[in-house]
Homo-oligomer: A and B are copies of this chain.
């Protein structure tokens, strides 16, 4: 091959793991976030927009131990030696702001934030290195009333964007109850919390996988470990059978355990067990008290669940406190009318992040979608959060209680699309075609009139020679109407409106009865252009919006 002396042309590529959003996608997200903002503001939350860049020191966790900090963040060294990085979430910047401006901000400080965050992770299908988060947090409120408020607000926000009641559930748990269970199981020593840290980590991650692995999978991870379908072995926490039972009894104390068992054991591919057989399954043996609870009506479960949880964490002070807090949250929510149809307690909620110290909560969409393999599955989690009382302390040395939620913006948008409730079928513009290059000023004047009347309109700005290209352009833009004025029309002071939607329908099905009497184009005096366009557009206005 001959050597190419030309400088190589740069590749026109979105960097790996990043993406670009076009047109309707941008509008759709903007509209959804506007609705969420309105709810947050009604709750007294103020917007905060921090810089995208933080010092690595302020972000924490990701300190530059080698040459550069590449553990999960995008970082670089400043001229004056400081390490800077893109924020990886919206909570770390909030903690920094709460410490930095503590004398100026109201206390408690309710704030919401929306914006991109960046993760330096291997990109994969559906895994991006820049994505949107939408957070709301209350800093400086020790009372669990703040947690209850966030759960209520999350419920309102989901309904506001178009997730109907019954299509979602917010599940609440408390890390303190979890810690109580760990105490009872003998893997948390309140006098030396550093002991058994590794075991507790494995236990938390195992509980978090209940949905995916089922009770037996979790049980395996609590013990010796588990081999998955691909043959990979995950080391377990090494608990004894007695210890594992304590944890499992707790995990299964969930109000929707029944639904899950049905889902898991009654799958089409499995032989159908008799209802009476349930009692003899492993679950029935391990957790006999669960069945009674899970079979009764959810609305009556609150007290039973709390009593049941108390019986498990009995001897642990932390555990007892946790159960009390859950009860307070339930009461505060019920006082505002948020019952278990919207928000309920669920001991299997763990939330991965290490920094949670109290209540944790998660919003799950319960309607079914078809996954990439065509199988039905629940849509799953779209938001989560909890109480983290130690994040601000890193900066100030003083504990500052805080709690907050983060909505996965892209997942929620995907859910709205799956439910057909996304509002982003934005209308294409009316296109004024150019028949005569010397009369561009006339066409421009028409476009100006349409725009002044609030109608989305464009003049064709490409090379006007080929009229077919102009109509192809109008088609690509999703234009409802093309405006045409050749020399003949201009001489008469007339202009032609071509109904492109009707045109497309006729092309699709030329014999369609309902269209046969409607003209696909009309000629009107130039002075009546705006009114004629309005009349034609009105035919296609979606009654749903």
The interface residues of chain B lying within 8 Å CB-to-CB of A451 are: 42-43, 156
B53 with A18: CB separation less than 8 A: yes
By beta carbon, the residue of chain B nearest A140 is: B462
Do A20 and B48 have beta carbons less than 8 Å apart? yes
Segment 33-61 of A: residues with Cβ below 8 Å from B: 41-44, 46-55, 57-58, 60
Q: Does A335 contact B (CB under 8 A)?
A: yes
Q: Which one of B26, B116, B457 lies within 8 Å of A48 (CB-CB)?
A: B26
Binds B, one of A7-15, A211-219, A240-248, A492-500: A7-15
Q: Are B70 and A148 in contact (CB under 8 A)?
A: no
> Are the CB atoms of A335 and B74 closer together than 8 Å?
no
Q: Are A462 and B46 in contact (CB under 8 A)?
A: no
Q: Which B residues are CB-close (under 8 A) to A447?
A: 336
Other-chain contact of A58, B10, B148, B456, B473 (Cβ < 8 Å): B10
Q: In the complex, what residues of B have CB within 8 A of residue A463's CB? A: 142
A94 to B48, CA, bound (A): 28
* B-contact bits for A105-123, CB 8 A (1 contact / 0 none): 0111010000010100000
CB-contacts of A438-465 with B (<8 A): 440-442, 444-445, 447-448, 451, 454-463
Decide yes or no whether A374 CB sits under 8 A from chain B. no
Please tell me if the beta carbons of A444 and B15 are within 8 angstroms of each other in the complex: no
Q: Is A21 a contact partner of B49 (Cβ separation < 8 A)?
A: yes
Interface pair B14/A50, CB less than 8 Å apart = yes
Contact indicator B15/A82 (Cβ below 8 Å): yes
| Contact A52 B456, beta carbon cutoff 8 Å | no
- Judge whether A381 is part of the interface by a CB distance below 8 angstroms: no
**A10 to B59 CA separation, bound complex (whole angstroms):** 9
Contact assessment for B20 and A97 in the assembled complex, using a CB-CB cutoff below 8 Å: yes
Inter-chain CA distance A505–B432, complex, in Å, is 58
Q: What's the Cα separation between A43 and B459 when bound, in Å?
A: 9
* A281 interfacial contact with B, CB 8 Å: no
Task: Tell me, yes or no, whether A27 is within 8 Å of chain B by CB.
Answer: yes
Q: In the assembled complex, how far is the CB of residue A353 from the closest CB belonging to chain B, in whole angstroms?
A: 19
Q: Is A84 an interface residue (CB 8 A)?
A: yes
Binds B, one of A265-273, A318-326, A392-400: A392-400
CA distance A23 to B53 in the complex (A): 20
Give the docked Cα–Cα distance between A25 and B47 (Å). Answer: 9
Q: A13 CB to closest chain B CB, in angstroms?
A: 6
- Residues of B near A23 (CB, < 8 A) are 46-48
Shortest distance between the CB of A393 and any CB in chain B (Å): 9
Asked whether, in the complex, the Cβ of B146 is within 8 Å of the Cβ of A461, the reply is: yes
Q: B15–A477 contact, CB under 8 A?
A: no
Chain B residues, Cβ within 8 Å of A75: 76
Q: Which residues does chain B contribute within 8 Å of A331, judged by CB atoms?
A: 441
Chain B residues, Cβ within 8 Å of A15: 51, 53-55, 78, 82, 84
Decide: B441 and A335 in contact? CB cutoff 8 A. Answer: yes
9 additional A-B residue pairs with CB within 8 Å, beyond A9-B395, A108-B473, A336-B448: A12-B58, A21-B48, A22-B48, A23-B48, A108-B461, A108-B462, A138-B461, A335-B445, A336-B444
Pairs of residues from A and B, 9 with the lowest C-beta to C-beta distance, nearest first: A44-B458, A18-B51, A12-B99, A141-B461, A335-B441, A336-B448, A26-B47, A44-B429, A12-B100
Q: What are 23 A-B contacts with C-beta separation under 8 Å?
A: A9-B396, A9-B397, A10-B57, A12-B97, A12-B99, A12-B100, A12-B396, A13-B55, A15-B51, A15-B53, A20-B48, A20-B50, A21-B47, A30-B47, A43-B456, A44-B457, A52-B116, A74-B76, A108-B461, A145-B440, A156-B451, A328-B440, A335-B442
Interface residue ranges, A against B (CB under 8 Å): 9-16, 18-23, 25-27, 30, 41-44, 46-55, 57-58, 60, 68, 70, 74-76, 78-79, 82, 84, 86, 96-97, 99-101, 106-108, 110, 116, 118, 129-130, 138, 140-143, 145-146, 148-149, 152, 156, 328, 331-332, 334-337, 394-397, 426, 429, 440-442, 444-445, 447-448, 451, 454-463, 473, 476-477
